[in-house]
Chain A
């Protein structure tokens, strides 16, 4: 393994660990497709950042945070279906981003490219991933309980609205981190596939979270390594490996039944 690839591998492992840990809760909450929708929102943010020559991560995170706060407010203030709003506006922002972005950056934003991260970006990605993982772990009991029964959670003092905002903000951070790795088109898969694989075989919450993270990290390391060796884009390779893991766990689940 050459030195130039070690940093992207470490970054990918941390980013995938954070995304797949969060993905486990997204699956419990049956919010599997929110990651997809959110990643689209990042596009105009990235486009604007490129236009104004600032870091694309900052553009992405600003747009994502605005979007999740928007979702959060809409969920409580309007009778409109969340899915409708997400479906209409988030896809529109993908279209907008695609129109205003130069072609090279567009491909990168759609499919990601971890190897183009500089040292500062790499370190920032790792640190923010650790923050994300720590925050989700601290909140894991409340998140899980709230997903099993909102009322029981509230009955022991869990503040539902605040928790929901925390979850959405964590999601925004995971998407902003992951978008440089797998890109806007495949971001949803980074969050969901490892968790979906773990759910096939896990019998407890603990096993579910651990396996989800392990599957995410293995696919990330293998994905970056193989894509480097074969000169491919890492994002799609990661997704294909992840999908293989999913198929294997699905087979295990069917055999066990």
Chain B
């Protein structure tokens, strides 16, 4: 059953067609990976799905579906006077200590991190905190914008492991933007290749042959090979 159906989605920003005629579906409990070169409109698509960017066409969520959004990165200072606990409390009603600890547990962080400053913790830890923050709202769907940007390889591995666990344990549907084709192959049920318009959609092994990738990334084959080092 589709938790999300997108039909004829078009987005125009400052008179430029950022996305043209996008159509796809996401089945409940599955993982959709959105890939494409820089400027392909991946982030724009993700934001439009949760209503942050106006668009034309149809975005149909299953009735009552709750979304949680994890942004690409946070531009914050290291001395930001905000503890991790306070960051959770900013959600408002519904964020109490037991729930905060439970969601930290899901992302495999110790409760001791709650008293640290949000700007002090490592990028990888902050990424997990952001995921926990989204999980705290008990969403049905999690939308991730490049969850591993700025994180080293080992950190990336564990982030994806965590995503996999979330999907399994909480039955979440996951929509993620990723540059990492390894991950796409291992975790995604479907992949959407994007470069302003939809170039391919389907199971990774069916749609991701090297010819399609050359099309998508404009001949940058090195990108594909690089990922298999």
Using a CB–CB cutoff of 8 Å, the interface residues on chain A facing chain B are 28, 79, 141-142, 144-145, 148-149, 151-152, 154-156, 198-199, 202-208
Residues of B within 8 A of A203 (CB): 81, 83, 117
A79 to B16, CA, bound (A): 15
Looking at B71, B83, B86, B134, which has the most chain A CB atoms within 10 Å of its CB?
A: B86
B144 in the interface (beta carbon within 8 A): no
Q: Which of B47, B76, B92 contacts A148 (CB 8 A)?
A: B76
B41 in the interface (beta carbon within 8 A): no
- Residue pairs across A and B with Cβ atoms less than 8 A apart, 27 shown, are A141-B91, A142-B92, A144-B82, A144-B86, A148-B90, A151-B47, A151-B52, A151-B71, A152-B69, A152-B71, A152-B133, A154-B50, A154-B52, A155-B67, A155-B69, A155-B134, A198-B81, A199-B81, A203-B83, A204-B81, A204-B83, A204-B117, A205-B82, A205-B86, A206-B86, A208-B81, A208-B82
B117 touches A156 (CB 8 A): no
- Which chain A residue lies CB-closest to B50? A155
A155 to B144, CA, bound (A): 12
A145 touches B81 (CB 8 A): no
B177 to chain A, nearest CB (A): 13
Residues of A within 8 A of B81 (CB): 198-199, 202-205, 207-208
B74 touches A141 (CB 8 A): no
A151 touches B69 (CB 8 A): yes
A156 to B68, CA, bound (A): 8
A156 touches B82 (CB 8 A): no
B71 touches A149 (CB 8 A): yes
- Which chain B residue lies CB-closest to A253? B79
Residues of B within 8 A of A155 (CB): 50, 52, 67-69, 134
A204 touches B86 (CB 8 A): yes
A152 to B68, CA, bound (A): 9
Residues of B within 8 A of A208 (CB): 81-82
Residues of B within 8 A of A205 (CB): 81-83, 86
A159 to B50, CA, bound (A): 13
B111 in the interface (beta carbon within 8 A): no
Instruction: Give the residues from 62 to 109 in chain B that come closer than 8 angstroms, CB to CB, to chain A.
Output: 67-69, 71, 74, 76, 79-83, 86-87, 89-92
Residues of B within 8 A of A79 (CB): 14
> Count of B residues near A, CB < 8 Å?
28
B118 in the interface (beta carbon within 8 A): yes
B82 touches A148 (CB 8 A): yes
B36 to chain A, nearest CB (A): 20
Residues of B within 8 A of A144 (CB): 82, 86, 90
Using a CB–CB cutoff of 8 Å, the interface residues on chain B facing chain A are 14, 47, 50-52, 67-69, 71, 74, 76, 79-83, 86-87, 89-92, 117-118, 130, 133-134, 137
A34 to B118, CA, bound (A): 26
Q: Which of A148, A151, A207 contacts B87 (CB 8 A)?
A: A148
Residues of A within 8 A of B68 (CB): 155
Question: With A154-B52, A204-B83 known to touch, is A148 a contact of B71 (CB < 8 Å)?
Answer: no
A28 to B91, CA, bound (A): 18
B90 touches A145 (CB 8 A): yes
A216 to B180, CA, bound (A): 50
A250 to B133, CA, bound (A): 33
- Which chain A residue lies CB-closest to B143? A155
14 additional contacts, CB 8 Å, given A141-B89, A149-B74?
A145-B91, A148-B82, A148-B87, A151-B47, A152-B69, A152-B130, A156-B92, A156-B137, A199-B81, A202-B81, A203-B83, A203-B117, A204-B81, A205-B83
B80 touches A148 (CB 8 A): yes
Looking at B14, B67, B133, which has the most chain A CB atoms within 10 Å of its CB?
A: B133
A207 to B81, CA, bound (A): 8
Residues of A within 8 A of B67 (CB): 155
- Which chain B residue lies CB-closest to A153? B90
A20 to chain B, nearest CB (A): 14
Residues of B within 8 A of A151 (CB): 47, 52, 69, 71
B74 touches A148 (CB 8 A): yes
- Which chain A residue lies CB-closest to B73? A149
A149 to B68, CA, bound (A): 14
A148 to B118, CA, bound (A): 10
A141 touches B71 (CB 8 A): no
- Which chain B residue lies CB-closest to A28? B80
Looking at A79, A199, A204, which has the most chain B CB atoms within 10 Å of its CB?
A: A204
A191 to B174, CA, bound (A): 44
The 4 closest A-B pairs by CB, nearest first: A208-B81, A155-B69, A145-B90, A202-B81
